[in-house]
Structure 1
Amino acid sequence: MQVGMIGLGRMGANMVRRLMRGGHECVVHDAVPAPIQALAREGAVGADSLDDLVRRLRPPRVVWLMVPAAVVDSTLDDLASRLAAGDVVVDGGNSYYRDDIERAKRLAARRLH
């Protein structure tokens, strides 16, 4: 399975490592280049931007967000505008669960899961 990961802090980077150990291909992006480069040396595919990440994923795409609560909405909105109907977003961001319910409704309106 191919998975995109946005947010390569401690949790995101370790989840990428675990996924790769399980045989999954990971395409990774972060606001900071260093963790992208580090995970690329470990076997992940680095993406320089959200456009690059989406381009490197095969449809239907699976993209996992592991970003701080303060940037979940902006990252999700930027990402959703680049995805296609049927793509899947896993919101692992550190935010209040009721906010996730509203985000799910916004994604569903775009036919994203």
Structure 2
Amino acid sequence: ASGTAMLNSMLTVHAKVVGEDVLYLKDDAQTLSDEAHATTVNTETKLGARQQLYTSVKTMLGNQKTLIQGDITDVMSADVAQLATKLMEAQTVYNMSLALGARILPSSLADYLG
């Protein structure tokens, strides 16, 4: 049942209680109020879970924003000349390692791999 229907049921029960309609209260009121209460509790549970999810996502996105801003700041403050020099040094060391490795491997193994 919809929230509006449950609210209407509760208002009807309230009106019957105020009007002291004992027969109605004895027969229908308990069932209506139980159903309305169960629907209300179920809806509150779903809303609470959804709110918790939204809060979790908000926190995660806030953390990502901080990380991204830090990355942008790091990139903007990077010394391009220094990075290029480090890259060339790393490339030179890598090439030297390959050349040294080729000299150390036995010729038959080097021929096999080549």
Where on the TM-score scale, by shorter chain, does this alignment land: which range? under 0.3
Where relative contact order (Cα < 8 A, 6+ residues apart) is larger, the structure is: 1
Larger of the two Rg values belongs to structure: 2
TM value normalised by structure 2: 0.19
More strand by share: 1
